[in-house]
Structure 1
Amino acid sequence: MSVPESRRIVLFRHAKADWPQVTDHERPLAERGRMDAAEAGRRLADTAIPFDLALCSTAIRTRETWKLAVHEFQHRPKTVYEERVYEASPGELIALLNETPDDVQNVLLIGHNPGVQGLADVLSGSTDGDARERMSRRGFPAAAFAVLSFSGSWKTLEPGVATLLDYWAPSE
C-alpha cells in the first residue's frame, strides 16, 4: 500500500490595484501594489516550495503581480493564465484545481477575493501554529498568501482536507 503524496497549494491574492477609468479586468497595479508584489515574491521564494505550476487569473492586476513576484524566484514554474480564476468562487477554484495532473506536486494560484480567501477557509480543516488566527485577524488583504498542504491526488481535493501551514500579508 502506498502512502498518499503530500501536495502544497499557495493561494496568493493580487497586489493592490489602481482605479483608472477601465474595466475591472483591465485594472493595473498601483505603485503600492508593485512594491508589495515584489515583497510577496521574496516571501514566497523564502518558503523554498518548488512550485511546478502557477495558475494565474487573466486580469491585468494578477498578471502584473505574478510578473513582479516570480522575478524573485530561483526557478520559474510553468505558468497558465486561466480565465476561470477571474471572479471564481471557492467551489469553482476547487473544480479547477481538481483538473491538475497528478505529476504536479505544488501549485501557486494567483487570484482575487473573495474567492481566494474563501478557498483558504474552505480547504483548511486544520491549522499548524497560529496561521488561522493571523489570517482571521488580518483578513486577506492585497498581496497576502496562504500556504496549505493535503495528501492525495488533485481529484480528491475538497473542503476540509487541507492543513493551513502558513499565512503572510504585507504590513500596512
Structure 2
Amino acid sequence: MSVAEPRRIVLFRHAKADWPQVTDHERPLAERGRTDAAVAGRKLVDSGIPFDLALCSTATRTRETWKLAVHEFPHRPKTVYEERIYEASPGELIALLNETPDDAQNVVLIGHNPGVQGLADVLAGSADGDARERLGERGFPAAAFAVLSFEGSWKALEPGVATLADYWAPSG
C-alpha cells in the first residue's frame, strides 16, 4: 500500500451505558446500548470500509460495544485493546494514532467522550457535504461514529489534516 492512498479513521463512541454500582471503567452497556451497538455495526458494514485495525478502550462498555458491532462484520479486523484510550484527550488520541503501522489503511477507534468528539473536531480541517452540520446538530451521542480521511503516514496525522467524510448517530 502506498502512503499516498487516503487513509480512513472511524471514531466510534461506545453505546449507551448503564449506571450500576461499579467503577466508571467497569460500567456495562444498557439494553438500549446493546441494540444501538449492533445497529452501528451494520451501518459501519454499509460504509464499505475494509477495516485493518480496531483500537478499543479497555473499559467494559467499549469492549461490549465493539463485540456487538464487529459481530455484524463479514471480516473481523485485528483488535487491540488499549488502556490509553480511556479518558484520553484529543492530543493523547492523536499520539496513539501516530503509532499505527503504515500497513494499516483503515482504522476504527472505539472510545469515549469528550475525547472522541474533540478528536473529530480537531482533525477535521474540512468536511464533505453536510457531515459537519449533522455533527454540530447532534453532537456525539452514544454509538455515534465519524468517518475521517487523510493522506500521508499515520505519523503525519495532526490537527486539521483530515476531511470529515461522514457522520452517523442512532435515532432517539
TM bracket (short chain): over 0.9
AA aligned to 2:100 is T
AA aligned to 1:81 is Y
Residue pairs, 1:1-172, within 5 angstroms:
4-172=4-172
In 2, Cα distance between equivalents of 1:5 and 1:154: 12
Q: Return 5+ residue gaps in structure 2 as ranges.
A: none
Displacement after TM superposition at 1:74 (Å)? 0.6
In 1, Cα distance between equivalents of 2:3 and 2:118: 29
* Cα offsets for 1:107-137 (capped at 9, x unmatched): 0000000000000000000000000000000
Displacement after TM superposition at 1:4 (Å)? 1.7
In 2, Cα distance between equivalents of 1:67 and 1:148: 22
In 2, Cα distance between equivalents of 1:89 and 1:69: 24
Q: After TM superposition, what 4+ stretches of structure 1 lie above 4 angstroms from structure 2? A: none
Q: Contact 2:55–2:81 at 8 Å: present in 1 too?
A: yes
In 2, Cα distance between equivalents of 1:126 and 1:4: 19
Q: Contact 1:5–1:153 at 8 Å: present in 2 too?
A: no
TM score, norm. by length of structure 2? 0.98
Displacement after TM superposition at 1:64 (Å)? 0.2
* Cα offsets for 1:30-68 (capped at 9, x unmatched): 000000000000000000100000000000000000000
TM score, norm. by length of structure 1? 0.98
Q: Secondary structure at the match of 1:167?
A: strand
Displacement after TM superposition at 1:5 (Å)? 2.2
User: Aligned pair in 2 of structure 1 residues 101, 135: CA closer, same or farther (>3 Å)?
Assistant: same
Q: Secondary structure at the match of 2:51?
A: coil
In 2, Cα distance between equivalents of 1:137 and 1:6: 27
Displacement after TM superposition at 1:3 (Å)? 7.2
Q: Secondary structure at the match of 2:49?
A: coil
Q: Return 5+ residue gaps in structure 1 as ranges.
A: none
AA aligned to 2:58 is T
